[in-house]
Structure 1
Amino acid sequence: PSVSYSTNNITNRTSDLHHVTNISYEGYQFFVFSHESPMVRAYLDVVRDTVCGLALRTQERTYGFDSKVRPMIISERIKGSDWPLTGITMVGQRRLINIEWAIRFVIANDVMGDFIECGVWRGGSSVFARAILKALNNNDRHVWLADSFQGLPKARTPNDHDHWSKMEYLKVSLEEVQTNFRSFNLLDDRVHFCKGYFVDSLPRCNVSRIAVFRMDGDMYESTMDQL
């Protein structure tokens, strides 16, 4: 995608980002958000921790084909190393914080373009992305979700395995994802869905510019299709 930005600003902000990744979450909040409305911060914290299932301390599933249900381990949920039962994203709190930082980064540096997520599961990461843009009154950027909305395909290359296609837990319909957006009052004309396997759906997505691109394809072939 074509973008324009100030190289000096990028260098300075990248240095800031490196600093943020090495401090506590409380320090991160102060460092990045001390200037903004407490209501905005509270809203985004609630959405973030709700979509990943951290706020309600829900049960989790261990990662993998033969996953088991167990009580939630907070450190695992923060890292995104489990599969939440009632949360709507697997990525965990830490990666959601990264999404927020990335979106704020492109806004602050006037990097033109939208947010797109490829491989969305229940849609929680994109729900949070839309919440960020709405809370910051940024009405120029759109949120795109690309997914088969029917699980993963069978392997077509030696680099992949068929077990992905057998994981029923990964199969989430488009209607369920849309319902999740409605639950947060965030399904609007800034949210778009590209249904189908990436090799077919991405060429049909009418995205002119991408500022933040979240890739979550699981399989080798789907990752190459995204690139």
Structure 2
Amino acid sequence: MTDLPPPGTGHHSPVQLYLDLLKRCVTNVIYQDPPISPPWAPQVPFGLEARVEGLDCPSQAHTMVGFARLDNLRELTERVLRDGVPGDFLEAGVGRGGAMIFVRGVLKAYGVTDRRVWLADSFQGFPEPPAEVRYQLRDVYPELAGEADEGRRQAAEAMKALFLRGGSADDVRENFRRYDLLDEQVNLLPGWLADTLPTAAVQQLAILRVDNDLYDSTYLTLEHLYPRVSPGGYVVVDDYHFLDECRQAVHDYLKASGTPEPDLTTIDQCGVYWRKEI
């Protein structure tokens, strides 16, 4: 159990000021990089509202999740520290690493040295989905609906290549280093989740953050890691409200595992979280 200041106090304390600045840095609302535009659309300038709400795809920022989901991640991290919920922090599907950079910053701000952050990702893009997976790019980008399959595939690959710029394992480590947050408490799990998660040296999790986008990856993450979430710990699903396949994978896993439907709390227009029953 870690002694923390009560919620809502110390708004001008060094910890509060540091974490607020860190949030602004990982989202890059300071230097305001333009978002990546789809290949079929003209380049658009930086928009503060879209970045704060996590609705654009940054060209340089280290995360695209926006303020509300980062604030939620901080709040949940502080809760598990305050309540003494055992375990580490793991994100599956890490992008450029910004969300876990923020969590590592929270731990450092409070002097926590006995917990790790884990980042599980292929660090080489998305796996080729099997034919039965129902995720379709046109469901997210209707502009592609009239294109031929090959054109749609090429457009998708172009967007993924742009978004994953800076997303290799070495680049994610470098991003941590730039914030002076790369140390022995930061652990990367590179490789396809089906290969890495079953044998990952993760004993207990206080927070599991799922940001895989695809059905199979979301299901695999829950299948292998939800049993390791400590009672009283939290599960955050980033794209629950945004991607039907992500939402379906959550409920399919809960049903298949015999887990009662949890009381979901909406974070923003994309994400939800729930607390694992004690």
Give the TM-score normalised by structure 1. Answer: 0.80
What's the counterpart of residue 211 of structure 1? 206
* Structural mapping, 1:54-133, within 5 Å: 54-62=29-37, 66=40, 68-133=42-107
Match of 1:186 in 2: 181
- Cα separation, partners in 2 of 1:66 and 1:42, compared to 1, 3 Å: farther
CA separation of 1:158 and 1:50: change in aligned 2, threshold 3 A: same
Cα-to-partner distance string for 1:20-40 (whole Å, 9 max, x where unaligned): xxxxxxxxxxx8241476111
Paired residue secondary structure (2:55): coil
- 1:62-81, Cα deviation, whole Å (9 max, x unpaired): 4x665653212211111111
- Contact kept in structure 2, 1:60 and 1:70, CA below 8 Å: yes
Contact 1:117–1:214 (8 Å) recurs in 2 = yes
Alignment of 1:169-180 (within 5 A): 169-171=162-164, 172-180=167-175
Deviates more, 1:39-48 or 1:145-154: 39-48
Residue 212 of structure 1 and its aligned partner are, at CA, apart by: 0.7
Q: Is the alpha carbon distance of 1:192 and 1:128 closer, same or farther for their aligned partners in structure 2, counting shifts above 3 Å?
A: same
Instruction: Count matched residues.
Output: 198
Aligned to 1:200: 195
RMSD value, Cα: 2.3
Q: Which shifted more, 71-80 or 138-147?
A: 71-80
**Secondary structure of 2:195's match?**
helix
1:57-99 Cα deviation digits (max 9, x unpaired): 221224x665653212211111111011221111111111111
2:232: which partner in 1? none
Task: Name the residue aligned to 1:41.
Answer: 16
Describe the shift of the 1:107–1:86 C-alpha distance in structure 2 as closer, same or farther (beyond 3 A).
same
Partner of 1:19: none
Alpha-carbon offset, residue 151 of structure 1? 0.5
Q: Which runs of 5+ in 1 are unaligned?
A: 6-30
| Alpha-carbon distance in 1 for matches of 2:156, 2:34 | 24
- Unmatched 5+ stretches in structure 2: 138-152, 223-278
Q: Give the letter for the 1:225 counterpart.
A: L
Is 2:134 aligned against 1:159? yes
Q: Which secondary structure does the structure 1 equivalent of 2:189 belong to?
A: strand
Higher helix share: 1
CA contact (8 A) 1:178 1:187 kept: yes
Distance 1:66 1:213 in 2: 35
SS in 1 for 2:206: strand
Distance in structure 1 (CA, Å) of the matches to 2:212 and 2:41: 19
User: Which residue of the partner structure matches residue 113 of structure 2?
Assistant: 139
- Aligned counterpart, 2:161: 168
Amino acid at match of 1:52: T
Checking the alignment, whether the CA contact within 8 Å between 1:154 and 1:165 is kept in structure 2 is no
Q: Distance in 1 between matches of 2:89 and 2:44?
A: 33
Shift of 1:55: 2.2
Residue 50 (structure 1) shift: 0.7
User: What do the CA deviations read for 1:137-182 (whole angstroms, capped 9, x no partner)?
Assistant: 1112110000000011111133234859722124321011010000
User: Quick one: distance in 2 between partners of 1:161 and 1:59?
Assistant: 26
